[in-house]
Structure formats: structure tokens, C-alpha cells
Structure 1
Amino acid sequence: MSDLEEHDALHRLLGGYLLGGLDEADTDRLDEHLHDCADCRAELDRLAPVPEMLQRLPDARHLGGGAPLAVSPTARPTQQNIEGLLSRMRAEKTKETRVNRVRWLAAAAVVMIAAAAIGYGIFTNGRVPQGTTPEALPSVELVTTQFESAPGSGLTGSAVLTPKEWGVAIALDVSRMSGNGPFLCLMRSKGGGTEQSAVWGDTGNGSAKVNGASSFKIGDVDAVLITDRDGKVLGTASVT
């Protein structure tokens, strides 16, 4: 008999093994087989509740009107033997589950690291030089300057200038503006040229928070000016 035929023959005896219906020779053969066959142990685990279920059925000892059902609590194999086999099988399942969980966590960690790396590339506009760590990147130095009001104006506030590759971005936070809108923010270069960097309308309370930009490089900016629609200067913030 081949190994496969032997396996199939013993597999068919599992029901009788649980119900104590095998002779001593078949029980010993199946005992030895179960220690080395995971498939049969899995089937044994699936069938393990059957004897108890049969005992609980109404008239279980006379099903079908035939002979009493032989489910002997003292028949071989012993309950300890079955439980020992099932415990071994469940321990193997637990070990396999634990290994699979560790592998899953490791894969998840790789995905999270990759996502973090992609996110870093996005927030740095993908311009991180090869071989350069984030700590080695130059920090952006912001320039903050305060407005001085022009004669007859009560304008107060600040301007924050951020260097960019293409020029400079500006964030205005001003209040106590007077005059007629629209109001303009102008950047004046050290060479005397000016560029309009922002424009906005009347705010009702004389306060505004506005963002703008200029093509001037940060090192070329001399001052930031706020004017009304007639060109009257309301305040100047010098950039040193």
C-alpha cells in the first residue's frame, strides 16, 4: 500500500477513532499517524465535538430504532490522548498565526516608512538633492518688519517676507487703514524700482490680512509700502 493509500485509509477511520469503535491495532496505527499528519489532526479537531453532540441528542442510544449507540467513555483512544493531539495542533496554529502577524507588522512598517518618505518628498517639492538628509537642507530665514505710519495716517502692522526661488512671498497683517480702497502693497527694490505685490478692497474696520508676492529677491528688497487707490502712502516697512 502506498503512503497516499495508507493516509486515505487512516483518514476514514477518524470517526470510529473518536467514538471508540476501532480495535486496538487500528487505534495504535492511527495514534502513530496523527503525530505526523497535520491534515488528519485538523480533521480530528473538526470532528471532536461529535461524540458529545450525539450523547445529547434525544434517544441518542436508540437512533433509528436500531441497536444502542456505542459511545463508550472508557473506549480507546482516551480523552487525554485526543486532547494531547489537539493541544499540539492548536499550538502549531498559534505559532503559525504569531509568525504571520509578525510578518504582517513588518510589511506594514515598510509601507509606513515608504509613505513617510513620499510625503517628505511632496512637502519639499521633490527637490531634496540625492544623498542629502533633511537636517543638511538649508533653513528658510524669514524677514519680519514693522510698518511706520505716514504723516496723517494711523496704519500699524507687520510684513513677513519669505525667500523663494522665484522671488519673495509676503504676508501682511495691518490695521487702522484710512483712505479709499482698493489698497495696494508695493515692494521697493534697493535700485529704486517698485512692484505691486498685493491688492485688496475696503474692509470696513480698517484691518486686513493679505498674502502677496514679488519677483524681487529678498536681498534686493528695500521696503514694503501700503498705499490707497490714489497712491497716497499710508505706511512703510523698511527691510534691512
Structure 2
Amino acid sequence: MNPTHEELREAIGAYVLGQLDDDLRVQLEAHLAGCDECRAEVAELAPLVPALRQVDPDRIVASDVAPPPALDDRIARALALQGSTPVGLVAAPVEGAAHPRFAARRRWVPAVAGALVGAAAATALVLALTSGQDAPAGPTVIAVPQVQAASGVQAVAGLVDHTWGVELKLEATGLPAGEAYDVMVIDDAGREYDAGAFLGVSGRKVVCSMNSSVLLADAARFEVVDPGGAVVISGPIPS
């Protein structure tokens, strides 16, 4: 059964975070080609994804700073207007419920909403906790010396070694606006690790940080793949 407009719309949060399986991603991208409403939602959410990926779990520490009063209620009301069930509530079964494949996807709607709201708060929290102290040194970025790019595309890349995996810092120009690009890190055994996705921007440089769960010592190369499956940017990872 083909997914409905609403089912595909509910998958947009997972899509911009690079968490959809290939089959659903292809269906959503085909839907985006003809749906102005969903394309607008992707465009609205996509700029927030790099902020999420730049929140370093290793640098977030406990604090007694409380979220604004009634924040949970405001998020719940906003989700209710969109027909979604807030975290902690159980929706009663209804006749003609969505295909089971999409039942698990619905959890992404509140999760992404909370993550996008929380990203700014987490970033502000880290800044607040470090104010009045010496600013910590930035991470060491290891240059990727042999970045290859498709015709008309220019790109540079760097790597940051974390305890939880490798972070890829990418700058690129020449990528068509609105097209979604998947980023993967391949390890020494040829296994692929999802590092997220981003949208091309017309006439401007794309600057993003992508994270994968493979350690730098085990990573062999990275690839950026266009919607048609072609590799448009790639490079070996020195380890």
C-alpha cells in the first residue's frame, strides 16, 4: 500500500536527520517533487539539523537550569494541532489506522520536535555553563587531503576524532538547490555507516558537520551520494 500524504509528511523529521530506510526515502523524495507543502517543511527543518549535529555529547554537563514553565504543555498542544500523539500518551486505535510500517515512524514526530526545540536550548546551556571561564580549545580538525568531487562541484573536508565516532566537517559548492544528499562513512571492512543528510543550496556554500558511529581508527573513506545514487563527493580517511 502506497503511503498517504500525511504518512509521508510525518516521515519528514526522520528524513532531514538521515534516518529513513532507502525504500521510504525514495517514496518521500518522489512525493517532495510534487508537493510544495512538504518541500516547504523540509526547507524549514533542514537548517536546524547542523545545529543538532554540532551539540557534542562529551561537552554537555549536568545543570540545575530548568526548562521554561509549561513547555511540555505547549509542545503537546502544538503536536495535537498536527494530529500527532505527544510522548507519554497512547493514541486509541482507530479504524483504518496507518500501515504498521508507519506506526513506528510516528514516534519521530514528537522526537524531532523535541530535538529541534532542545538543540537551541542545549547550545545555550553549554554557552551559559562556560561563560566566565576560559573558553575550551576547539577540536583538532584533520584535513582530508584528496577530496574528489563530481564535475561542477568543489569540496573540502576535515575530520574530528571523538570517543563515540568520527565527525566529518564538509564545505561544498555547486550542489543543486533542494536536492537531498546522503553522507556515509565506510570502514576498513567495507561496512557503511550513516552520517546524516543535507540539502544543496543554490549559489551558496554548504557548510555542515556530519557524525557517524564508526571510530576514526576504523574508518576508510567517506561518500556523499545524490538522490540518484551517484557519488558526488568522496575522500579517503587518514587514520
Query: Shorter-chain TM-score: which interval?
Result: 0.3 to 0.5
Greater relative contact order structure (CA < 8 Å, 6+ sep): 2
Structure (1 or 2) with the greater helix fraction: 1
Tell which structure's C-alpha radius of gyration is larger.
Answer: 1
